Amino acid sequence: MTTEKRTALPVVADAPLDPARRAFLRTAAAGAAVASMSACGVNLDDFLRRHFKELSPEELKRVLAKVEQRNRDRFGKETKVSATGARPGVEFGYGLDLSRCIGCRRCVYACVKENNQSRSNPQIHWIRVLEMDKEHGVDLARAESYYESDAVPRPGKFYFPVQCQQCRNPPCVKACPTQATWKEKDGIVVIDYDWCIGCRCCMSACPYGARHFNWATPTLPADELNPNQHYLGNRPRPKGVVEKCTFCVQRTREGRYPACLEACPVGARKFGNLLDPESEIRRVMETKRVFVFKEELATHPQFYYFYAT
Amino acid sequence: MTGFLEFVKGCGRQVVSGGRAYRLWIGALLALIVVGGVAYAHQARTGLIATNMRDQVSWAFYIGNFTFLVGVAAAAVLLVIPAYVYQWKPLKEVVVLGELLAISALTMCLLFILVDMGRPDRFLHIMPLLGTPNWPRSMLTWDALVLHAYLFLNLTLVLYLLFKTYRGEHYDRRIFLPLVLLSIPLSISTHTVTAFLYNGMAARAYWNASILAPRFIASAFCSGPAVMIILFQILRRTNGLPIKDEAIWKIAELMSYAMFVNLFLLGAELFKEYYSATEHLLYTQYFWGGIGEHRTLVPYAWASLACSVIAFVLFLVPSTRRNYVTLNLGCVLIWAGVYIEKGMGLIIPGFTPDTLGEIYEYRPTATEWAIAAGVFGIGFLVFTMLVKIAVPILVGTFRAPERTEAPSQSPAGIPAH
């Protein structure tokens, strides 16, 4: 679990190839296309923008200002959009105590609120809580995610929340044809919603159902908009792009806990820096019986399930 | 160059002139395209929520049609191999038509991908140099590469052969043969890479079987020629294209071998799934027997198998193979069988149940049907126009002006010795 080890894994290269040449070609060859596209109402700057990783600090500042302007136009609200990068020496890990989870789904709705998900049509949840029989253990063929009950936990049942597992070997990143999604140095798999072409290859590739598509323009009431946003995280999405859990990148890179963890009434959720020997997540891993979901697929998640009691 | 301009003008004249039946056919296709266009405008406005695809089943009708049509396009090779490599006389004149079919099928493939995209306005992001294609890791970038390469190769070949024939010149085997030989591995690779697109996803056990690509190739060798056999008969009657019975029977014979391989591979897959009966059986079971009350695809699965088996028998027995009634019946059956098997029968069970065990039963919406109809309309229109230009050139009625006085050349191009 060292950083050296991670660089050996096939993640997207950090350094792009010859940006000057690419910029020239883009300008030259796209000229004719641009005229017709702008006639169709497609924004010219967005059309000719460079990949997020190729942006200079000034360009990034302009892009962030533009997202804030778009928020103003769409919601009539002031927002703060950051692009805080991964902190050196940090690799995030998440632990979920299955023996404590009661299936109340407070994490699900805290996530929706924090991350500006579409409320209905389509309703998007980044966390799916599966109800399973204690008798059969973790068996997806018997899992029920639409359980309704006046009181949880129900007798004979246990609850298995699933969200993005932030794989070290992410099949979604491999499948993406445009490098619109990648794994950051702190382990978070992110999406640039302005680069995604909506082909949904990543959704087919993800073994955890963690990726969600904006089948329509997200319905998000202005008064419920979370104004503290990250470019690669909870900023409002347009229709036609994929989104996913980012371990609340807008919070965790500022040293805060993810919203789902704070909402959990039973303390089933643990989060921290895997590289810090004193962190809570390291303690969980060293003292509890830990397993990862669908281990046989060798995705090597940074999300661990365990039974504390 | 002026000769080429004259050729283009002549092509334009060929396309606009035609009898009552031709005009009716074009009118019907244009009507389909308008319906598809209106439906697409609706989908572009509201988003893909206009379809019944959801997070659980995130690819469906469009991608199913795309997969089937890649098979149709790849099958042009079945006609190219014997015609050019083994110099079979009766097949030679029909190869051009196989390539025209491939061009039309590829056009439809690319359109089905386009209508399935959430953000088609960002197409630049996948282009080499202009965007950031995730090549060589993403299979979709490979698929885009081979499909375009195959499309342009077919266009080049057809244009070269037709232009030379139009001018009454011999084609140069040193240019032509390498391109034809290149088109063989390329056509196989289009379908293989498309299979790998699904095959490479470990998350979907239904697709993650190494038999997938061979099954793709085997079924493509059935569905593509089935379309061709029917088309040849139509063109022979309407345009007097000299296609011999032997040519059609030869194709039918090759198809029966392909069908045997296809059925054998299907049997091998079904045995493995049902005998080992691991948790991966669920997807196969959803297709063939249903899971509980979820049985939407079951009638289609068995209809597909019945079509394939009956067609196999009809094509295997020489007397039914040579009888045009049973031959055409077999073509329709094999087409229907593969359309189910390589369309919805491949895509939907891959997603049902989804990766967390949920069963969402998908059925296309009216919008999806309309858009698909529009895409097929465009494909048929492209094919009709190409045939309208190619056939008169092949039979020698559409020639360069300076050749109008000369005696008619033999059909199709003649190699220079």
ipTM of the complex: 0.91
Minimal CA separation from B49 to chain A, in Å: 5
CB atoms closer than 10 angstroms to residue B310: 16
pLDDT (tens digit per residue) in B200-242: 999 999 999 999 999 999 999 888 889 888 988 988 888 777 7
Q: How confident is the model at residue A5 (pLDDT cuts 50, 70, 90)?
A: very low
A234 vs A116: CA distance, rounded Å = 6
Report CA dihedral (A25, A26, A27, A33) to the nearest 10 degrees.
120
Domains of chain B, each with CATH number or no CATH? 26-403 (1.20.1630.10)
Q: Which of B48, B56, B110, B132 is the mutation pick for testing A, counting most A CBs within 10 A?
A: B132
Interval A72-86: pLDDT, tens: 999 999 999 999 999
Per-residue model confidence (pLDDT) at position B92: 57
Say whether residue A79 is in contact with chain B using an 8 A CB cutoff.
no
Record: contact B144-A177, CB cut-off 8 A: yes
* pLDDT value of residue A13: 43
Q: What pLDDT shows up at residue B411?
A: 47
Q: Is the pLDDT of residue B247 over 90?
A: no
Give the residue on A whose Cα is nearest the Cα of B201. Answer: A205
Partnered with residue A94 across adjacent β-strands are: A271, A303
| A4 falls within a domain | no
Report in angstroms the alpha-carbon separations of A236 from A72, A229, A254: 11, 9, 20
* Domain assignment of residue A296, yes or no: yes
Min Cα–Cα distance to chain A from B132, Å: 5
Q: Which residues of A touch B122 (CB under 8 A)?
A: 47, 178, 195-197
> Is residue A22 in some structural domain?
no
Q: Do A22 and B53 touch (CB under 8 A)?
A: no
Query: Would the pLDDT of A37 be above 70?
Result: no
Residue A199: closest CA among B196, B144, B50: B144
Q: Is the pLDDT of residue A169 over 70?
A: yes
- Write out pLDDT tens, residues B316-373: 999 999 999 999 999 999 999 999 999 999 999 999 999 999 999 999 999 999 999 9
Are B395 and B240 in contact by the 8 Å Cβ rule? The answer is yes
pLDDT at B416: 44
SS3 letters across chain A: CCHHHHHHCCCCCCCCCCHHHHHHHHHHHHHHHHHHHHHCCCCHHHHHCCCHHHCCHHHHHHHHHHHHHHHHHHHCCCCEEECCCCCCCCCEEEEEECCCCCCCCHHHHHHHHHCCCCCCCCCCCCCEEEEEECCCCCCHHHCECCCCCCCCCCCCEEEEEECCCCCCCCHHHHHCCCCCEEECCCCCEEECCCCCCCCCHHHHHCCCCCCEECCCCCCCCHHHCCCEEECCCCCCCCCCCEECCCCCHHHHCCCCCCHHHHHCCCCCEEEEECCCCCCHHHHHHHHCEEECCCHHHCCCCCEEEEECC
Print burial letters for A237-273: b (CB count within 10 Å at least 16), e (below 16). Answer: bbbbbbbbbbbbbbbbbeeebbbbbbbbeeebbbbbb
Q: What pLDDT is stored for residue B396 in this prediction?
A: 84
pLDDT at residue A149 tops 90: no
- Which residues of B fall within a CB distance of 8 Å from A25? 129-130
A196 in any annotated domain: yes
Q: How confident is the model at residue A15 (pLDDT cuts 50, 70, 90)?
A: very low
| Residue from the list A37, A51, A241 with its beta carbon closest to the beta carbon of B119 | A241
- Other CB atoms within 10 Å distance of the CB of residue B85: 12
| Residues in contact with A162: Cβ distance below 8 Å, sequence separation at least 6, in sequence order | A127, A128, A129, A130, A208, A209, A210, A293, B356
Provide the CATH number for the domain around residue A268.
3.30.70.20
CA-to-CA dists, residue B152 to A100, A205, B54, B107, angstroms = 60, 30, 34, 11
pLDDT of residue A18: 58
User: Could you tell me the pLDDT band of residue A270, with boundaries at 50, 70 and 90?
Assistant: very high
Which pLDDT value is given to residue A22? 58
Is A34 or B142 the better-scoring residue by pLDDT? Answer: B142
Please indicate, yes or no, if residue A1 is contained in any of the structural domains.
Answer: no
**CB contact (8 A) between residue A240 and residue B47:** yes
Question: In the prediction, which pLDDT does A17 show?
Answer: 47
Q: Which of A30, A143, A207 sits opposite B203 (nearest CB)?
A: A207
The verdict on pTM exceeding 0.95 is no
Residues of chain B in contact with residue A207, where contact means CB-CB under 8 angstroms, are 202-203, 355
Cis peptide before A153 (omega within 30 of 0): yes
pLDDT band per the 50, 70, 90 thresholds, residue B2:
confident
**Is A292 in CB contact (< 8 Å) with chain B?**
no
Angle at A127 between CA A286 and CA A112, to 5 degrees: 125
Owning domain of residue A129: 79-309
Is any Cβ of chain B less than 8 angstroms from the Cβ of A182? no
Write phi, then psi, for B364 (nearest 5 degrees): -65, 150
**pLDDT band at residue B176 using 50, 70 and 90 as cut-offs:** confident
Chain A CB contacts of B197 below 8 Å: 201
- What is the C-alpha separation between B156 and B151, in angstroms, rounded? 9
- Mean pLDDT score of chain B: 90
Which pLDDT value is given to residue A6?
41
Average pLDDT rounded to a whole number, residues A130-139: 96
- Is A226 among the domain residues? yes
- Give the residue on B whose Cα is nearest the Cα of A240: B118
Residue count (chain A): 309
Domains: count for chain A: 1
Q: Among B159, B104, B75, which Cα is nearest to B382's?
A: B104
- pLDDT value for B333: 96
Is residue A210 assigned to a domain? Answer: yes
Question: Looking at chain A from residue 9 to 48, which residues have their Cβ under 8 Å from any Cβ of chain B?
Answer: 10, 12, 16, 21-22, 25-26, 29-30, 33, 37, 40, 42, 47
Using a pLDDT cut of 70, give the percent of chain A over it.
86
Asked if residue A271 is part of any domain, the answer here is yes
- Please compute the mean of the pLDDT values over residues A153-170 and round it to a whole number: 97
Distance of CA B248 to the CA centre of its chain: 19
